[in-house]
Amino acid sequence: ISKRLVALYKLYWLGKIHVLASAESMFEIFQRENALERILAHDEDKQKKLIEDKAKLKNLLDIMNNQKKEKINLEQELIKQINILSLEKEKRSKLLADIQSKKSLGIAAIESLKNSANELDQTMKALSIEFKQFKQVEKIKTKNFTSFKGLLNIPVKGKIISFFGPYKNTEFNVKNFRNGIDIKADRGEPIYAVCDGLIIYSSWFKGYGNMIIIAHGENYYSVYAHIEELFKTKGDKVEKDEVIATVGDTGSMVGSGLYFELRHHGKSMNPLEWLKKG
């Protein structure tokens, strides 16, 4: 069309005279001139429409290209989100596995403590029988331990963080019974005998670390565990408030401190009923 427009344009200006000159009358000249102008106008309209159509086509192509880019971006974002979700799922699975593993270890540790407590019960029975064979037993028996109820000094300087009696481990949903108290204290802090007595055990004990047991007569005993350094040995006599050891964290699950028990005829008693208030 553009070529034809150029040709007609040239014809209109250069060949118009020739076309009109070949006419045999003025009417024919007028008709030919009108025909040429109509053809030229028609082709100009076509050219204009083609330009508009070309612009529309370009606009559509631009829209399609933009939509294609958006689609690619969406696909890439979708892949990214899928990867993120996969990683999160993997993290959750790992976390769940860790929690289950820790729970299993925690429950196993609590069961181990129960077993150790049972073993201590059996050891206390055996030691009480053995204690009666000591020559010093008569002197120890003269002491009236019951008169010290509510008057005993705390065996170490620190803060009580776990108390005597039944408790529930909320993390693992396990119930247990604590036969003594945990006293949080600095490593190396001196540990004192709560009353006069005789050392009947001074060594390592499974689940309790280094441990000392003192017999006070009348079947009363005090137990000191998680010790770092033992200053007394089996058979030694001790006096009230005498230093017998230092604080450590041997066998402890709560860090440095002292685990303390009081027993009568092998049965555990609440130490807080025997210690001075404050």
For 31-57, the pLDDT digits (tens) are 766 777 777 777 777 888 888 888 888
Answer yes or no: is pLDDT of 110 > 70. no
DSSP string, the chain: -HHHHHHHHHIIIIIHHHHHHT-SSHHHHHHHHHHHHHHHHHHHHHHHHHHHHHHHHHHHHHHHHHHHHHHHHHHHHHHHHHHHHHHHHHHHHHHHHHHHHHHHHHHHHHHHHHHHHHHHHHHHHHHHHHHTTSTTHHHHHTS-GGGGTTTBPPSSSSEEEE-SEEEEETTTTEEEEESSEEEE--TT-EEE-SSSEEEEEEEEETTTEEEEEEEEETTEEEEEEEEEEE---TT-EE-TT-EEEEEB-TT-SSSSEEEEEEEETTEEE-GGGTBPP-
Sort 225 into a burial class: Cβ within 10 Å, 0-12 / 13-18 / 19+: buried
Q: Which residue has the higher pLDDT, 224 or 79?
A: 224
Band (141; pLDDT cuts 50, 70, 90): low
Taking only the tens place, the pLDDT of each residue in 193-245 is 999 999 999 999 988 999 999 999 888 999 999 999 999 999 999 999 999 99
Taking only the tens place, the pLDDT of each residue in 4-33 is 555 555 555 555 555 555 656 666 666 766
> What pLDDT score does 201 carry?
95
Q: Which residue has the higher pLDDT, 147 or 127?
A: 147
> What pLDDT score does 142 carry?
45
CA angle, 231 then 235 then 237, to 5°:
70
The listed CATH number (3.30.365.10, 2.60.15.10, 2.70.70.10, 3.40.50.1390) that belongs to domain 135-273: 2.70.70.10
For the chain, what are the domain ranges?
1-131, 135-273
Band (143; pLDDT cuts 50, 70, 90): low
> What pLDDT score does 237 carry?
93
